[in-house]
Amino acid sequence: MTAGGPAAEPAVRTRGLTKRFRSGQVAVDHIDLVVPRGAVYGFLGPNGSGKTTTIRMLLGLVSPTAGSVELLGSSMPGGGPVVLPRVGALVEGPAFHPYLSARANLERLDAVDATASPQSRPGRIDAALERVGLTAAAAKKYRQYSLGMKQRLGLAAALLRPRDLLLLDEPTNGLDPQGTREVRALVRELADGGATVLVSSHLLSEIEQVCSHVGIMSRGELLAQGTRAEIAETGTTEVRVMTRPDQRAHVARVLTGLGLEDVRVDGEVVAAPLGGTAVEKVAQAVVGDGVDLLGLEVRRPTLEDVFVRLTGEGFDVDR
Amino acid sequence: MSIVDTPVPVAPAAPARATARLLRSELRLVFGRVRNLVLLAGLAAVPLLIGTVLFVTQSTPVAGQGPPFLDRVTGNGVFLVFAALVSCLPFLLPLCVAIVSGDAIAGEASTGTLRYLLVVPVPRTRLLLAKAVAALAFAGAAVVAIAVVGLAAGAAYFGVGDVVLLSGDTIPLAAGMLRTLGVVGYVIASLTGLVAVGLFLSTLTEVPVAAMASTVVVAIVSGVLDALPQLSAIHPGLLTHHWLDFGEFLRLEVDASTLLAGLAVQGAWVAIFGALAWSRFTTADVSS
């Protein structure tokens, strides 16, 4: 690592990044994205929350209405010619020429890359196809590919060369559970190799396990960002008391008496955010008040709780 | 040592070599596509069709009947080249140019491959230039195909010999071939303006058929306006006005000024629509 070198800067940094479409719709609203080097950054948000538009701006495909983008220390879009060869990207699904074979499509992408060596091309294409499990289907025309195979080919294209940064927009779209696991393994492998990976998804569960960092988008705004632990801590720790049905109301009164707020009966348990109250105190108070305590649980907040709280649970797209 | 510590060596090839590789890839894309090859074959069939009809019916058209040069074909097969070009210029050649140039950017946008080309990265200006050259190369191939098949069919059906010029003077066959080359070159150059128009329209849409159709419409409307005597003031600047001036090559003294006027008009259309295409393509958001 060179002293004060590029590794000190985040792999991706945006400042006040904004996109307002001609329709007047603000797709991305002043977001300050920071993806540290070496991170696997889960870029989460419902469909239509502005993730893809953000990724397009990172890559210089869409010009921001306001704000700036830095990729690997170079400002975009001006630094594109220098920095983009080090960036592999999957943007809004794979796209290839339908009447060309998978291999011919990769050959074309590599041939138009001014910085790629034609000598090493066949070897790199083989390696990329192998890595995503498409070796056997390399000669097939793209239009005969299934959705999952297309997605894999998109990943192969992003991996044609060693990359320092990968921007993967919904890489698990269209994949079966097995394929999804493979993508997760691939992301982990890339990160282990030292690359920074930004993975977007509208499904937390698809990528939660591989992320070191998380950013949560909703309606064009970046609502939360940080390490997984940091984000999870913004959630609320809950105490859940199990008792006999006829004593639930009693328990609720005891908890309220302890100063807990938002006490509610949740199915067979009485639950409340713990706040600053010690869990021992809750146990003592409940037992001391003559309640038959059948069980007591402290539920730590999960990333999912935070995600759901910030983005809502419905199926509705953001807009 | 991690990848982060050792940035991927980025050794940009000399711009000339990179451009050559891009261009080769574009040409392969255009000439490798079945649709385009069918189009080429269709155009090449026109002289064959005309030649066969004349040969089978064994009737020499009366001068002034049918398209220019048709009456001379049975006398000298070389004229089949000119008759075929005249037949293709109003519609088939513009169609061919429109399909390839209209598809250039819009086609990549509609399949989504444009965004992946740009993040490779391929600089937008360089991509546009490569697309333009490939489209022009295809138009050129179409003209050459018509000429080659025309010459072959003309020679086979009617034989070739010394060329009788429009003035009635006769020049040797070799000189006639040279003039035929001039005709081919002029016709190709005449299509450059339409290539630029098609390319510009192609940057406006993600629907290739829309760009193709509009390009054909431009050529046809230009032809219609050219036929209206009331608009004679604007005729010299029309895209298609000078297209048939290639007949100039068949005069004893080729009048360079006539040909240069035609080339200048094409140059102007290329400059205007090339600049429009460039300014649009280099600034537009790629949201396809």
CB A37 within 8 A of CB A63: no
Task: Return the pLDDT at A279.
Answer: 84
Task: Return the pLDDT at B10.
Answer: 52
Residue A225 domain-assigned? Answer: yes
A123 — contact with chain B (CB < 8 Å)?
Answer: no
Residue A14 domain-assigned? Answer: yes
If asked whether residues A126 and A216 sit together in one domain, one would say: yes
Who contacts A71 (Cβ-Cβ below 8 Å, separation ≥6)? Answer: A11, A12, A58, A79, A83, A84, A87, A165
Interval A146-175: pLDDT, tens: 988 999 999 999 999 999 999 999 998 888
Query: What number of C-beta contacts closer than 8 Å exist between A and B?
Result: 119
pLDDT for A3 beyond 50 = no
If asked whether residues A105 and A120 sit together in one domain, one would say: yes
Q: List the CATH number of the domain containing A145.
A: 3.40.50.300
If asked whether residues A246 and A221 sit together in one domain, one would say: no
Q: List the CATH number of the domain containing A247.
A: 3.30.70
d(CA B154, CA B50): 10
CB A41 within 8 A of CB A196: yes
Average pLDDT across each block of 10 residues of chain B; the chain has 288 residues. List them in order: 44 76 95 95 96 87 77 90 95 96 96 95 95 97 97 94 88 94 96 97 96 97 95 95 92 91 97 98 90
Nearest to B288 by CA among B210, B208, B209, B206: B206
Looking at every residue in chain A, the average pLDDT score rounds to 89
If asked whether residues A170 and A203 sit together in one domain, one would say: yes
d(CA A112, CA B118): 10
d(CA B131, CA B286): 17
Q: Which of residues 190-229 of A touch B (CB under 8 A)?
A: 193-196
Alpha-carbon dihedral sign for residues B54, B56, B60, B61: negative
A96 — contact with chain B (CB < 8 Å)?
Answer: yes
CB B132 within 8 A of CB B199: yes
pLDDT for A41 beyond 70 = yes
Instruction: State in Å, rounded, how far the first CA of chain B is from the last one.
Output: 38
B10 → closest Cβ in A56, A85, A98: A85
- B8 and A164 within 8 Å at the Cβ level: the answer is yes
- B111 and A97 within 8 Å at the Cβ level: the answer is yes
Residue A89 C-alpha, separation from nearest chain B C-alpha, in angstroms? 8
Asked if the peptide bond before residue A77 counts as cis, ω within 30 degrees of 0, the response is yes
If asked whether residues A73 and A130 sit together in one domain, one would say: yes
| Tokens read off for A94 | 């794979």
Nearest CA in chain A to B16: A114
CB B165 within 8 A of CB B251: yes
- Other CB atoms within 10 A of residue B36 CB: 19
B8 contact residues in A (CB cutoff 8 A): 85-86, 161-164
Residue A52 domain-assigned? Answer: yes
Pick the most confident of A5-9, A64-68, A203-207: A64-68
Interval A304-317: pLDDT, tens: 888 888 887 654 55
DSSP secondary structure code for residue A317 in this structure:
-
Nearest CA in chain B to A61: B286
Residue A172 domain-assigned? Answer: yes
Nearest CA in chain A to B111: A95
DSSP secondary structure code for residue A105 in this structure:
H
d(CA A304, CA A316): 18
Who contacts B239 (Cβ-Cβ below 8 Å, separation ≥6)? Answer: B193, B194, B197, B218, B219, B222, B265, B269
If asked whether residues A260 and A177 sit together in one domain, one would say: no
Task: Return the pLDDT at A243.
Answer: 87
Interval A48-74: pLDDT, tens: 899 999 999 999 999 999 999 999 999
Q: What is the mean pLDDT of residues A123-139?
A: 94
If asked whether residues A247 and A228 sit together in one domain, one would say: no
Residue A311 domain-assigned? Answer: no
Nearest to A40 by CA among A223, A156, A190: A190
If asked whether residues A30 and A100 sit together in one domain, one would say: yes
Task: Return the pLDDT at B2.
Answer: 40
Residue A139 domain-assigned? Answer: yes
pLDDT for A129 beyond 70 = yes
Q: Is the ipTM of this complex over 0.85?
A: yes
Nearest to A155 by CA among A122, A130, A191: A130
One-letter amino acid at A100 equals L
pLDDT for A121 beyond 90 = yes
Residue B160 C-alpha, separation from nearest chain A C-alpha, in angstroms? 42
Query: Count of domains in chain A?
Result: 2
CA B77 to chain centre: 24
Range(s) of the domain holding residue A166 = 6-233
If asked whether residues A84 and A14 sit together in one domain, one would say: yes
If asked whether residues A222 and A275 sit together in one domain, one would say: no
CB A104 within 8 A of CB A112: no
If asked whether residues A149 and A214 sit together in one domain, one would say: yes
Residue A312 domain-assigned? Answer: no
Task: Return the pLDDT at A62.
Answer: 95
Residue A314 domain-assigned? Answer: no
| Tokens read off for A13 | 């940094």
Percentage helix, strand, coil, to 5, in chain A? Answer: 35, 25, 40
- A85 and B121 within 8 Å at the Cβ level: the answer is yes
